[in-house]
Structure 1
């Protein structure tokens, strides 16, 4: 799953928070700041776990302020190890 999170999500610990939630769910992938102010989140693992991460991103308990999340689902490449902040 790839999600693009927009709002006040850079410089507030959002990537670190996302990494912690993803690791709790057993997901691999990354969270990266984009030049346009969004954060891109790429997560691989069981669909149910990815859906839980997506719900957390939209849930209101994130650092900063999330205004919207758009996601795209695709087949896992299974080449990632761990979850990192880029």
Structure 2
């Protein structure tokens, strides 16, 4: 039996654009086998759709909050469950 998949929408604010944040988030997601996607928002924040089991997503969120990019700095994170997120087979950087 596999663990239940959770779908989260995460909005990250701070120094998260122009610092490799999306790329390093993808690297992290691929390492942890989290699926979904990441993209920049017009307001300077970054949105992440993350799909995985609870223990994996807890580790993913912890690392995102610490900024997967060494040049980034996360100052605020909003996390919501969102069952409308479409299932995906991988994690992609979106425009």
Which structure 1 residue ranges, 5 or more long, are not aligned?
none
Question: Structure 1 residue runs of 4+, over 4 Å off?
Answer: none
Q: Which residue of 1 aligns with 2:4?
A: none
Does the alignment pair 1:36 with 2:35?
Answer: no
CA RMSD of aligned residues (A): 1.7
Structure-1 residue corresponding to 2:64: 57
2:30 maps to 23
Q: Which residue of 1 aligns with 2:10?
A: 3
- 8 Å CA contact 1:34–1:40 kept in 2: the answer is yes
- Residue 82 in structure 1 maps to residue 90 in structure 2: yes
Deviations 1:17-37 (A, max 9, x none): 101111111110001000010
Unaligned runs of 5+ in 2: 1-7
Residues 37-76 of structure 1, C-alpha deviations (whole Å, 9 max, x = no match): 0000101011111111111011255331111111002347
Q: TM-score scaled to structure 1, two decimals?
A: 0.88
Give the TM-score normalised by structure 2.
Answer: 0.81
Q: CA deviation at 1:78?
A: 5.9
